Amino acid sequence: MKYIDIHSHLNDKRFEEDLPLVLLRMRAAHVASIVVGTDKAMSLRAIALAEEHSDIWATIGVHPTDDPLETYDEAAYCKMAKHPRVVGIGECGIDYFRLEDDRARGRIENMDAEADRQQELFTRQMDLAAAVDKPLMIHGRPEKGSMDAYEDILHILKNGQERYGGRVKGNVHFFVGDTIIAKQFLDMGFTMSFTGVLTFSHDYDEVLKYIPLGSLHVETDAPYVAPAPYRGKRNEPAYVLETVRAVAEIKGIDSEIVTETLLENAKRIFCL
């Protein structure tokens, strides 16, 4: 194992028909993966995959917007969180990107009430992460032209660290913030991960250069956002190598050093 894709959705239905082949390609590329839960069913599926495959680990949690009607089953998530193959809590967090669209489509009735719901849901999962002393896998997506979701996440995390100290820790997945937001996460000891977007967009070059290599991870978020040269296709863990190459190129650091450091980062943060 040379690479760890710290955030994939191999539990997604889009992998049902050919998962064995996807795993063969993953192993041929010397990649292991953390499979992420987004609700109860997907969390249980992530655990099942981690039980079956030694190069897969699981996180369990409730995504902020996938199903606004899902009730947080604290007892069930607490039980899952204690499973030895579960290495984190999430993906959980705050997502304001589509609040207006969701209201217009009738998915939510009130944007303020929805923001409050997401904040409470994230807080409860932060409490769980602290209780079991496992890192958070944080989803943050601000409204366009804003950093609002990150600002609210940071506020909740700061309150959490005041209560729980170093047990509030983890990674901000698919980071799309600026250097100001990145500094605040770094000051709290959090890491940030980047996707294949680095291979076809320069929007995040500045913040990637700003974040120390020791505070970075790479991920695919498969089956989403396939990197160049696979754009438009279903993403998969083997493609994380393209993101590793992009990190090395953008930061101007030898690729072997980048590869080794990213591997150690993942092992350290997720206790792999």
7 is in an annotated binding site: yes
pLDDT, tens digit (0-9, with 9 covering 90-100), for 195-214: 999 999 999 999 999 999 99
173 is in an annotated binding site: yes
Q: What is the mean pLDDT of the chain?
A: 96
pLDDT, tens digit (0-9, with 9 covering 90-100), for 77-122: 999 999 999 999 999 999 999 887 777 777 877 889 999 999 999 9
User: What per-residue confidence (pLDDT) applies to 111?
Assistant: 87
Is 195 within 8 Å of 225 (Cβ atoms)?
yes
User: What per-residue confidence (pLDDT) applies to 141?
Assistant: 96
Domains of the chain: 3-270 (3.20.20.140)
**Has residue 24 got a pLDDT over 90?**
yes
Give the pTM: 0.96
Q: How confident is the model at residue 255 (pLDDT cuts 50, 70, 90)?
A: very high
139 is in an annotated binding site: yes
% of the chain exceeding 90 in pLDDT = 91
**31: helix, strand or coil:** strand
Distance of CA 16 to the CA centre of its chain: 21
According to DSSP, the β-strands at 136-141 and 3-8 are unpaired
Of 62, 100, 129, which is closest to residue 269 (Cα–Cα)?
129
Residue carrying the six token digits 């190129």: 249
Name, in order, each residue with C-beta under 8 angstroms of 201's C-beta and a sequence gap of 6 or more. none
Phi, psi angles (nearest 5°) of residue 218:
-120, 150
Q: Which residues pair with 191 in a beta bridge?
A: 171
Q: Which letter does DSSP use for residue 165 in this model?
A: G
**Has residue 68 got a pLDDT over 80?**
no
91 is in an annotated binding site: yes
User: What per-residue confidence (pLDDT) applies to 4?
Assistant: 99
Q: Distance between CA 251 and CA 133 in Å, rounded?
A: 32
pLDDT, tens digit (0-9, with 9 covering 90-100), for 228-254: 999 999 999 999 999 999 999 999 999
